[in-house]
């Protein structure tokens, strides 16, 4: 099964790479990150301060850049008939599904890795203070987990629907809920207004700790929690980082919780997607 999954992944990856889709996605990530570092080289002395802005950018545009690469991963094959070629060979559905996830994840991780390497190189040359290797490694690892969560969600959607339009609608809807809605960027419809509405309906006030717990359940907030240690050293230097640091007290402030949240989104969505795909009609 593993061999077949690798073969499916290789074919899928090479097909995308030769159409320059991979190059375009990697270039978009690298270009975006490079621009942020170049724009801030004279603003801040510390590269880790710019990593914070890069993180904000990745949170917003990372899923958008990856969506075109992922939402047709399986439903595109289904509607074009390519799935009959791949599954006409003795590939199991699991091998096919895993191959698709592997190929698309590889592109996402490659894009994040390349952008962080380029960011590090620019910081090394242009920033007053040298970039911390550990900070960049942590940032790269956490960012990879973040984009993998969205790749998994989008591929799972692709495996669960039977038309391209439904896949596109679902991907946009999930992005809206997990990013702008959760971040409070779309008033009056945000997570905070939902808390208020739920409190009003229940006739009570939702406690701040409960709100914080729910807030941390999204991939982007878990990602924020993972990269928080990078910015602790700037708590005294940058106002934006003033609230960072200190021992975590609540469960939802602990490292394992952040990893668990991202793991649940990644593995949970893949599991649900495969359950749908396992019994899907491929005609």
Residue 128 phi, psi (nearest 5):
-65, -45
Q: How far is the CB of 281 from another protein (least distance, A)?
A: 5
Q: How far is the CB of 6 from another protein (least distance, A)?
A: 9
| Residue 82 in the binding site for another protein (CB under 8 A) | yes
Please give the Cα distance from 51 to 131 (Å, whole number).
10
Structure tokens that stand for 196 in this block: 């208020």
- Which of 38, 42, 92, 126 is in the footprint of another protein by CB under 8 A? 92
| Residue 276 in the binding site for another protein (CB under 8 A) | no
Residue among 9 and 156 whose Cβ is closer to another protein:
9
Which residue in 130, 110, 111 sits closest to 122, CA to CA?
130
**Selected range binding another protein among 2-10, 119-127, 143-151, 186-194, rule: CB under 8 A:** 2-10
- Which of 38, 45, 89, 172 is in the footprint of another protein by CB under 8 A? 89
**Selected range binding another protein among 84-92, 134-142, 170-178, 217-225, rule: CB under 8 A:** 84-92
Query: How far, in whole angstroms, is CA 283 from its chain's centroid?
Result: 32
| Residue 246 in the binding site for another protein (CB under 8 A) | no
Residue among 80 and 130 whose Cβ is closer to another protein:
80
Query: How far, in whole angstroms, is CA 219 from its chain's centroid?
Result: 7
Per DSSP, the residues of 118-186 read: HHHHHHHHHSSSPPPHHHHHHHHHHHHHHHHHHHHHHHHHHHH-SSHHHHHHHHHHHHHIIIIIHHT-S
CB atoms within 10 A of CB 126: 13
Residues that bind another protein (CB under 8 A): 3-4, 7, 10-12, 14-19, 77, 80-82, 84-85, 87-92, 279, 281-283
């Amino acid at each position: 099964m593993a061999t077949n999954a690798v073969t499916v992944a290789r074919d899928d990856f090479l097909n995308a790479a030769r159409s320059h889709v991979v190059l375009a996605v990697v270039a978009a990530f690298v270009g975006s990150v490079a621009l942020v570092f170049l724009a801030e080289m004279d603003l801040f002395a510390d590269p880790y301060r710019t990593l914070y802005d890069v993180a904000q950018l990745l949170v917003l545009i990372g899923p958008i850049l990856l969506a075109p690469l992922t939402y047709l991963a399986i439903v595109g094959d289904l509607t074009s008939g390519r799935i009959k070629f791949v599954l006409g060979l003795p590939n199991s559905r699991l091998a096919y599904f895993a191959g698709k996830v592997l190929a698309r994840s590889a592109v996402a991780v490659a894009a994040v890795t390349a952008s962080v390497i380029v960011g590090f190189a620019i910081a090394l040359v242009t920033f007053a203070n040298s970039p911390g290797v550990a900070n960049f490694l942590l940032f790269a690892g956490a960012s990879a987990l973040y984009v993998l969560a969205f790749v998994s969600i989008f591929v799972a959607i692709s495996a669960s629907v039977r038309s391209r339009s439904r896949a596109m609608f679902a991907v946009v809807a999930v992005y809206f809920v997990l990013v702008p809605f959760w971040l409070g960027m779309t008033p009056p419809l945000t997570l905070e207004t939902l808390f208020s509405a739920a409190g009003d309906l229940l006739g009570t006030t939702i406690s701040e700790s409960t709100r914080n717990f729910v807030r941390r359940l999204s991939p982007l907030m878990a990602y924020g929690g993972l990269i928080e240690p990078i910015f602790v050293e700037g708590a005294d230097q940058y106002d934006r980082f003033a609230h960072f640091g200190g021992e975590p007290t609540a469960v939802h402030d602990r490292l394992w919780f952040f990893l668990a949240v991202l793991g649940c989104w990644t593995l949970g969505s893949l599991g649900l997607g495969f359950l749908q795909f396992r019994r899907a009609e491929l005609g």
